[in-house]
Amino acid sequence: MSLLPSIHSPFGLEGPIAAHKIADDDMEDDFDVRYAEVADDAKPIFLVLDTNFAIDHLKLLDKLHKVSPKYKKVYQIVIPLTVVNELDGLKNDSYTRLATQARNAIDWYFALFHNSDPIVIGQQLSQRLERNLRGDDAILDCCLVQWRQEQENMEVIYLMM
pLDDT digits (tens, 9 = 90+) for 130-142: 888 898 899 889 8
Tally of residues, the chain:
161
**Window from 13-27, 85-99, 100-114 with minimum mean pLDDT:** 13-27
Bridge-partner residues for 17, per DSSP? none
pTM given for the model? 0.71
CB 125 within 8 A of CB 107: no
Q: How confident is the model over 47-52, as a mean pLDDT?
A: 92
Q: Is the pLDDT of residue 9 over 70?
A: no
Q: Is 38 helix (H, G, I), strand (E, B) or coil?
A: coil
Q: What is the share, in percent, of the chain residues with pLDDT greater than 70?
A: 69
Residue 107 half-sphere exposure, CB side, CA atoms within 13 Å?
9
155 beta partners? 45
CA atoms within 13 A on the CB side of 62: 12
Query: In the chain, what is the straight-line distance between the N-terminal and C-terminal CA atoms, in Å?
Result: 26
Domains of the chain: 18-25+42-159 (3.40.50.1010)
pLDDT in tens, 96-128: 899 999 999 999 999 999 999 989 999 888 888
Identify the CA nearest to 74 among candidates 45, 104, 100: 45
